[in-house]
Structure 1
């Protein structure tokens, strides 16, 4: 076991995953290259969560969310470890909210930001690329928690391994679309890094997510940002920007799965 700044690598045989100490009270994992090609059900089992209750949607870079139990009902309770993406019609969604004990929510990423949200009664997994960030997927999911009566001071958020601001080159047009999602009055300059090419900038998505969460009332001490960059750490993470799709090479996409579950017993305040 090794770690830095509250982020700890866990290893067990051929398995390796990253955990955030802020979410120590919830079974969770941020995946890496060494966790491939395992699927959410197998990863859930590693976290001592029921594999048949691992839920994920078909990600489309949007801002729609779904309930984990509704996905599980749709697939008839079958274990995801034996189901490919085409085994049944997964609903389009870039966030999954779990509200039943032992259910778990999962997303996959390969430069986009995996966000895990924890509270005493609900948890969620969010996939946030630039399009989802611009559409406000994180504030939208947090509003579901808050409108259900879950206090902001009982919500913890971990922003997992993703392409970092200094490495994430985008057009100025894309950056402007994303920056429009910042709360009114927030200084946008910390989200931007210079780029040597005309018409390009570097964009820090996780900085924007933190600002969005704080605008929803989440205390800064309950927001953790991983120091890991998927683009700069080829030994640890898949990166679409660095490698492209590996489908033609190995018959599958190079992604890391991240997920979180509700423990079997109700939690006290985190």
Structure 2
């Protein structure tokens, strides 16, 4: 993680995080200082004229376009079910909510098109970010133009999961995983750099680094590591800035967004 890529922006309400890699787009990973403020309110800190798009997040691998939302979503009481949104026009802000899961903001440096993705272990195990990349490509994007900012999420050191969960996630990044048994997959997982999984003292448990798995999934699609930035903040360990479901078991969220050019 390169912490120099990330800066806190201050407002009268509180702080939000931005990433230098996405400097050409107005964007933000909002902190818990903005609790209970909706995207329609938060957008004023970035571009009051931008339209706002969000979905009902269901821990899926579904990515929809803003056109789909326009066609099917009557109001915020009737949200389209998905976990990612990709823009179709300029000045569209796309939003995702998180409280330990990884918020992923994607931008195309050539077209100005952007996406916001919510990826917990379920979305990661079903490769939602890879689905978003495929959608960009289907609309003419080239891999070398795609930029990725992976926002604050829970760190592996404090994210204990069942081995079964880790195996589902590891299946997406280990070559020839179908021909490996569960213990072999875990052994290979321990050997990955950046602590993708960590041994745990409890039986049938490991610690999982979802963000690093997403990072490896992106690279597996042919994206250069130089086009990926990872926030150096853990939601669980930084209560002054972030909500964490694992820490409090309360259903509070912080919002992340990016606006298309």
Q: CA deviation at 1:185?
A: 6.2
State yes or no: 1:262 paired with 2:251. Answer: no
Pairwise CA RMSD: 1.8
Match of 1:107 in 2: 96
TM-score (norm 1): 0.86
Q: Which residue number corresponds to residue 64 of structure 1?
A: 62
Q: How does 1:93-242 map to 2 (within 5 A)?
A: 93-119=82-108, 120-121=110-111, 122-182=113-173, 184=175, 188-189=189-190, 190=192, 191-242=196-247
TM-score by length of 2: 0.88
Deviations 1:106-136 (A, max 9, x none): 0000000000000132100000010000011
CA separation of 1:149 and 1:75: change in aligned 2, threshold 3 A? closer
Displacement of 1:75 in angstroms is 4.4
Detail structure 1 runs of 4+ shifted over 6 Å in the superposition: none
Residue-by-residue CA offset, 1:16-70 (whole Å, 9 max, x unaligned): 210011100011010111121111112222111535x110110000011111233
Q: CA deviation at 1:73?
A: 4.7
Give the Cα–Cα distance (whole angstroms) in 1 for the partners of residues 48 and 197 of structure 2.
Answer: 39
How far off its partner does 1:232 sit?
0.6
Paired with 2:3 and 2:175, the residues of 1 have a C-alpha distance of 33
Partner Cα separation in structure 2 for residue 34 and residue 169 of structure 1: 27
CA contact (8 A) 1:183 1:212 kept: no
How many aligned positions are there? 244
Change (3 A) 1:100 1:183: farther
**Secondary structure of residue in 2 paired with 1:188:** helix
For residues 258 and 115 of structure 2, what CA distance do their matches in structure 1 show? 7
What are the Cα deviations for residues 191-237 of structure 1, in whole angstroms up to 9, with x where unaligned? 11121111110001111111111111111101000110000111110
Q: Is the 8 A contact 1:63 1:94 kept in 2?
A: yes
Is the Cα–Cα contact under 8 Å of residues 3 and 231 in structure 2 kept in the other structure? no
Q: Distance in 1 between matches of 2:86 and 2:14?
A: 25
Taking a change above 3 Å as real, the CA distance of residues 75 and 62 of structure 1, as seen in their structure-2 partners, is: closer
Question: Is the alpha carbon distance of 1:157 and 1:185 closer, same or farther for their aligned partners in structure 2, counting shifts above 3 Å?
Answer: farther
Which structure 2 segments of 5+ residues have no match? Answer: 178-187
User: Contact between 1:49 and 1:104, CA under 8 Å: does it hold in 2?
Assistant: no
Distance 1:48 1:148 in 2: 25
- Post-superposition Cα deviations, 1:224-265, rounded to whole Å, max 9, x if no partner, equal 0011000011111000000112xxxxxxx31000011112xx
Aligned to 1:11: 10
Distance in 1, Cα, partners of 2:133 & 2:121: 18
Which stretches in structure 1 are left out of the alignment for 5+ residues?
A: 77-82, 246-252, 264-270
The separation in 2 between residues aligned to 1:109 and 1:19, in whole angstroms, is 16
